[in-house]
Amino acid sequence: MKGILTNCVTNKEKEVELEYKISIRNGERIFSLLNGVTGWESFFIDSEYTNLDEMKESGWLACAGTPRRYDNLFVPAEEMQKALKEIDQTQKSTLIIEKQRELRNLKDQRNAKQRDINNLNIKINQIEKELYIKSEIYKCGHLVKEIIINTNIDTLSTLCLDCWLKNKEQTKGDKI
């Protein structure tokens, strides 16, 4: 990009080659000259105070200058038009990147929720094993509907609770 530098002492103009970058800080796109007069020549691209159309038509006064201290730096309209085309391209790229980031975040959230669901299902299965709901006819012939809490289902008796208690009194010490 070319600019016009006006010497702050002699008032003589000369064409200079300028480098710039477009960066993002705190979610806002910034246009910055890398080799400007003060090092602070920049603007927020998407700010309500930045008139890009005016820059395309009239150019950009990057540094107004200070007599005998800072040179004046002006970027002509045709140079700003070239740079603003790149800004438009970066805006599209930025939107794509933002959408990709949003999609990735949503997928991460979905995966986290799926992990939570899987963990809940594991807990449900564990509790269902501990809280064993039994409804069947035992060997003793009684129909029993009862909830038996036991962490080791395999050791449950095949007798109903009444018959098991009678059997326990007889055998003294058997366990469910």
pLDDT in tens, 40-72: 999 998 888 888 889 999 999 999 999 999 999
Give yes or no: residues 95 and 155 share one domain: no
> What is the domain count for the chain?
2
- Look at residue 93 and tell me if it is in a domain: yes
pLDDT of residue 152: 45
Using alpha carbons only, give the angle 53, 101, 34 rounded to the nearest 5 degrees: 45
What's residue 157's pLDDT? Answer: 47
Residue 176 covered by a domain: no
Domain encompassing residue 159: 138-171
Spell out the residues 6+ positions from residue 14 whose beta carbon is closer than 8 angstroms to its own. 4, 5, 7
| Shared-domain flag, residues 87 and 142 | no
Residue 147 lies in a domain: yes
Instruction: Say which residue, 30 or 148, is predicted with more confidence.
Output: 30
pTM: 0.51
Residue 39 lies in a domain: yes
Of residues 129 and 104, which shows the higher confidence score?
104
In a domain, 108, yes or no: no
Confirm whether 133 is domain-assigned: no
